[in-house]
Chain A
Amino acid sequence: DAKTTQPNSMESNEEEPVHLPCNHSTISGTDYIHWYRQLPSQGPEYVIHGLTSNVNNRMASLAIAEDRKSSTLILHRATLRDAAVYYCIRVGSGNTGKLIFGQGTTLQVKP
């Protein structure tokens, strides 16, 4: 199975930036890094993905290390609604629609 390692939990204050780390030291050259999050009582939702370059979208930014063995999801200004479990997932070439979820990082946002 494609392994990633994330801290079990993190805390942030509202309106401050949050950096969620992910280690994927055995990543292959064609593996993408995807991030999903799951808000309480909801299904997971896609956040962002990338291969080598840093990526930005309306929800977050993804910073990928030059050696690709780690990445960081950046929420620029955390809100209470960002409290969720965040999953970092490797997606390989030829993927058959299978996402391998780990335990993820539970993010708490304090007002």
Chain B
Amino acid sequence: DAGVTQSPTHLIKTRGQQVTLRCSPISGHKSVSWYQQVLGQGPQFIFQYYEKEERGRGNFPDRFSARQFPNYSSELNVNALLLGDSALYLCASSLGPGLDTYNEQFFGPGTRLTVL
């Protein structure tokens, strides 16, 4: 079975531009979470979506938005890019919304975003 897939693998943008990152969860998984990982640090939570509704939001500005589609895939959108948005963006899926019940999040390989 395929794991979590993300596209594109790498992306280069300039300041002020907008970017859309895509994620396909493992088949049967209804929850998708997004994380930002800056070089040398652990991943930071951005959003969680479950059944197309936002269930959690991290401490990120409104320039960051996301949505989940009926097939449970998800997009992360970042507007007005800043140099500091350069990072690895990780998508993770799980069966359900609560990790106390559903235990594991399965991570994709990430999208490496470079903002020049």
Binding site for B on A (CB under 8 A): 30, 32, 34, 42-46, 49, 85, 87, 91-104
CA distance A92 to B101 in the complex (A): 10
CA distance A94 to B102 in the complex (A): 11
Q: How far is the CB of A4 from chain B (nearest CB, A)?
A: 11
CB <8 Å contact, A96 and B44: no
CB <8 Å contact, B42 and A43: no
Chain A interface main SS type: loop
Binding site for A on B (CB under 8 A): 4, 31, 33, 35, 41-45, 48, 50, 55-56, 58, 90, 92, 94, 97-100, 103-110
With A43-B110, A44-B90, A85-B42 known, 15 other A-B pairs at CB within 8 A are: A43-B90, A44-B43, A45-B106, A46-B106, A49-B103, A95-B98, A96-B56, A97-B48, A97-B97, A97-B98, A97-B99, A98-B56, A98-B58, A99-B99, A103-B42
A-B contacts, 20 of them at CB < 8 A, read: A30-B100, A32-B99, A34-B99, A34-B103, A42-B109, A43-B90, A43-B107, A44-B43, A46-B103, A46-B106, A49-B104, A85-B42, A94-B100, A95-B100, A97-B48, A97-B55, A97-B94, A98-B56, A99-B43, A99-B45
Q: How far is the CB of A97 from chain B (nearest CB, A)?
A: 4
CB <8 Å contact, B33 and A97: yes
A-B pairs, 5 with minimum CB distance: A101-B42, A43-B107, A97-B48, A96-B56, A46-B104
